[in-house]
């Protein structure tokens, strides 16, 4: 992810405190941010890797973030425990059981149902 893409993503996150899921698309010789519209095949989101944490006065870029390219699904949400906005590389799954098993393997607390707009806690669902 080049610095321009990263800055645009951070700006995008600051204007969406309730969360988002996007992809970068290369259109007309420039990278643009496009919302991911949920479908039955892209319904359940699982955080795979934290890319950036945005605090009030600074942000922290995690190792490997610069290697993330376009067409990578990215999600963000406000983490109340850490008091920061987290931007993460996400995986999208058709079936909740697949998403739950991946999330459990990655030690995630929850998955997100993009159609019903609700969090599903891993330990309660498995």
What is the pLDDT, as a whole number, of residue 109? 94
Q: Are 9 and 74 in contact (CB under 8 A)?
A: yes
- Two tokens, residue 67: 């290697």
Query: How much is the pLDDT for 125?
Result: 96
Position 2 pLDDT exceeds 80? no
Nearest CA among 83, 61, 103, 79 for reference residue 18:
79
For residue 8, the model assigns a pLDDT of: 85
pLDDT of residue 53: 93
DSSP secondary structure, 37-98, as one string: PP-SSS-EEEEEEEEEEE-SS-EEEPTTGGG--TT--EEEEEETTTTEEEEEEEEEESSHHH
CA distance 100 to 109: 10
**120 with 111: CB under 8 angstroms?**
yes
The answer for residues whose C-beta is within 8 angstroms of residue 53's C-beta and 6 or more apart is 59, 60, 62, 79, 82, 84, 85, 86, 87
pLDDT, tens only, 42-76:
999 999 999 999 998 998 999 888 777 767 899 99
pLDDT at residue 121, as a whole number: 97
Residue 10 has pLDDT above 80, yes or no: yes
- CA-to-CA distance for 124 and 63, rounded, in angstroms? 31
pLDDT at 94 over 80: yes
Tell me how far apart the alpha carbons of residues 108 and 48 are, in angstroms, rounded to a whole number.
9
């Amino acid at each position: 992810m080049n610095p321009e893409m990263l800055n645009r993503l951070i700006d995008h996150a600051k204007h969406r405190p309730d969360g988002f899921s996007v992809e970068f698309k290369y259109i007309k010789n420039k990278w643009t941010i496009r919302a991911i519209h949920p479908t039955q095949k892209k319904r359940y989101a699982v955080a795979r890797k934290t890319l950036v944490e945005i605090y009030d006065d600074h942000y922290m870029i995690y190792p490997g973030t610069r290697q993330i390219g376009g067409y990578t699904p990215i999600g963000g949400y406000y983490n109340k425990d850490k008091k920061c906005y987290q931007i993460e590389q996400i995986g999208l799954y058709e079936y909740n059981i697949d998403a739950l098993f991946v999330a459990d393997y990655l030690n995630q607390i929850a998955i997100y149902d993009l159609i019903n707009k609700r969090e599903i806690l891993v330990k309660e669902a498995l």
